[in-house]
């Protein structure tokens, strides 16, 4: 997300996700991705020789005991239960379409991932953004549901693969903080009970400026532009 620089008097004010105190831990899923050494990337998997095991969950997240994990083209596994060279490159079975760098959270079948985020200002408006895709495989499509603070923000919705090297779909969800700490939870299931996997990445939160702040910034920009034309 580009940072907007707005003139305010003689200084500059930056509008960006950093303005809000609330933020995800490991929203990109990269923090401990390199520890997912066992193919095909399920959380908690143990290698065939028992010499390696994947983390129980991505750093900062709570995930279901089954059906969750990490895939990343940057990872080369050293211990595999499938006898492959690892989960890097062509051996990532879940990220089989879409252009996404780094690690991606996978939710296969009935699974979930959640994080309790703190630092919200009650009654303040925010925007949640994240990227979503699905595995292009296996005859079914995943459905995802988003809940914020225990309230469903997006009901179960089918997610089709973006295909090829297209970018993941970017989702923006405005919400008003009802408490200083809120749980963000994604639930997945398959549309028809078959094999389907949801792919998620880049969770971030931005604060929406108050209308009075926007009015002041708008006036400042107007004056700044007028001075530049003089």
User: CA-to-CA distance for 70 and 123, rounded, in angstroms?
Assistant: 34
**What is the spatial distance between Cα 148 and Cα 130, in angstroms, rounded to a whole number?**
13
Return the pLDDT at 92: 76
What are the domain boundaries of the chain? 18-229
Average pLDDT over the chain, rounded to an integer? 82
pLDDT recorded at residue 68: 97
Return the minimum-mean-pLDDT range out of 11-25, 33-47, 165-179, 202-216.
Answer: 11-25
Backbone region of residue 60 per phi and psi (left: phi > 0; alpha: psi in -120 to 50; beta: other values): left
Give me the mean pLDDT over the 207-220 stretch.
58
Compare 148 and 217 and report the one with higher pLDDT.
Answer: 148
* Predicted model pTM: 0.81
Classify domain 18-229 at the CATH class level.
mainly beta
């Amino acid at each position: 997300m580009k940072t907007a620089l707005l003139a305010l008097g003689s200084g500059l004010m930056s509008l960006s996700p950093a303005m809000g105190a609330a933020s995800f831990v490991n929203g990109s899923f990269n923090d401990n991705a390199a520890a997912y050494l066992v193919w095909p990337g399920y959380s908690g998997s143990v290698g065939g020789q028992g010499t390696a095991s994947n983390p129980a969950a991505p750093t900062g997240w709570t995930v279901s005991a089954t059906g969750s994990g990490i895939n990343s083209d940057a990872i080369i596994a050293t211990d595999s239960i499938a006898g492959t060279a690892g989960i890097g490159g062509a051996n990532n079975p879940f990220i089989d379409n879409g252009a996404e760098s780094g690690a991606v959270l996978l939710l296969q079948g009935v699974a979930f991932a959640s994080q309790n985020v703190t630092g919200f200002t009650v009654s303040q408006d925010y925007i949640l953004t994240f990227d979503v895709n699905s595995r292009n495989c296996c005859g079914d499509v995943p459905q995802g549901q988003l809940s914020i603070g225990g309230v469903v923000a997006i009901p179960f919705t089918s997610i089709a693969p973006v295909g090829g090297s297209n970018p993941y779909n970017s989702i923006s969800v405005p919400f008003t903080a009802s408490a200083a700490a809120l749980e963000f939870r994604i639930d997945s299931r398959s549309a028809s009970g078959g094999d389907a996997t949801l792919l998620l990445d880049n969770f971030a939160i931005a604060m929406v400026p108050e209308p009075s702040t926007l009015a002041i910034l708008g006036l400042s920009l107007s004056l700044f532009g007028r001075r530049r034309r003089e």
